[in-house]
A and B are shown apart, each in its own frame.
Chain A
């Protein structure tokens, strides 16, 4: 049993998928199905031993922010404030600098650390901004989630970090569970910002940590950055949810595949 639980496919795929599916089924009656994402992610974080406070590593800070973003997302689910999207992007970008602070401190020169800080904040802010546009459309959000998780996770895995890879893939697995539940029940789940905010923030942070502390090439993130936009391509509204989901997932996964290819070109096969 322990051997099974230690298997990367279980830790990054099966376990978060099941956890998210159960959470979505239980919580959908209170319109809180979006919490399924963080449920799946936390299960993986626990299994790979990343849960903890001391020492507060960048990965642990990212997990902490993911939980806080979920709570914030619940509070802001119904908000229609016109500057909400830009505000969340700015806050997410600034929070990402806190996450990578210790890595930035290793740079002796301020000017060498600055591009990494700006790049990280911009990337995370970008993902938060564009993913927030999907919060009111759970099928699009779920499709984007699958691609963000798969793209970030597999690219991070190829980029020499199993832990970051599994954390990234858990986002895809959890999103897949939420998407599947919608398709099977043939009704949209009200995911809202409690789904899109932690999804974009965590996918952004895992990607940036892959670049800063492993060997993920920064330009692979450019392909991942296109995923939220790819999940907004027009699809026939009269077509079935299955077909819509298939088209949206295919478009988003194409971007993810681009990121994985770019990483594979540099790093070769994953370390497992």
Chain B
């Protein structure tokens, strides 16, 4: 019994450095990372907006099929292509950027299809409210970026949320409650 426990402990301790080595850390490339949102405008059309400033890190351990995500979005960098609407969206009616200048997405659980991440199970914090949000990864690719020869991964991911769950209730139900969040994200290996 004792011998077996000792053997297990040795096995675990020996495997730790290996799994640590297997985990790769990626730093978000802000020039190629843009969270988008789309929302129904009184049923007439679907309006789109995006955030221009995003930072964060992602770790991937493909062998262990594990990963973490820690993304921070600067909500002040919101743009929809129309300055007056952007001002409205930054006000306390919507993103309230004076009080909540960031939105974060943190996850420590991923599912894999083969050795490719398929979904990310994390939590989105918006307007001071944290709710579980599952991101579905639509495409994922890793390789060497030809311009600087650095290793990089990129993905397109999306999730559906209800803005009212985060306390954003202005103009409901005219301006839709269902919001599609889409992330186009690229990150360099550290």
Residues of A within 8 A of B (CB): 6, 48-49, 52, 54-55, 57-59, 102-103, 106, 160-164, 209, 212-215, 268, 271
Contacts and interface: CB of A to CB of B under 8 A. Distances in A.
A257 to B, nearest CB: 23
A209 to B, nearest CB: 7
Given A6-B174, A49-B167, A271-B88, A55 B98 contact: no
Contacts of A59: 92
B140 interface: no
Given A48-B170, A49-B169, A162-B171, A214 B99 contact: no
B32 interface: no
Contacts of B98: 103, 106, 212-213
Contacts of A49: 167, 169-170, 172
Contacts of B167: 49, 52, 55, 57
Nearest to A214: B91
Interface of B: 84-85, 87-88, 90-93, 96-99, 101, 127-129, 167, 169-174
Nearest to B88: A271
A55 B125 CA distance: 11
A106 B75 CA distance: 13
Contacts, number: 65
A245 to B, nearest CB: 33
A136 B103 CA distance: 48
B44 to A, nearest CB: 15
Given A48-B170, A52-B167, A162-B170, A213 B92 contact: yes
B43 to A, nearest CB: 13
Given A57-B99, A103-B98, A160-B88, 13 more contacts: A6-B174, A48-B169, A57-B96, A58-B92, A58-B99, A160-B93, A161-B93, A214-B87, A214-B92, A215-B91, A271-B84, A271-B85, A271-B93
B87 A209 contact: no
21 contacts: A6-B172, A49-B172, A52-B167, A54-B129, A55-B129, A57-B92, A57-B99, A57-B127, A58-B99, A59-B92, A106-B98, A160-B88, A160-B91, A161-B92, A161-B93, A163-B93, A164-B92, A209-B92, A213-B92, A214-B91, A214-B92
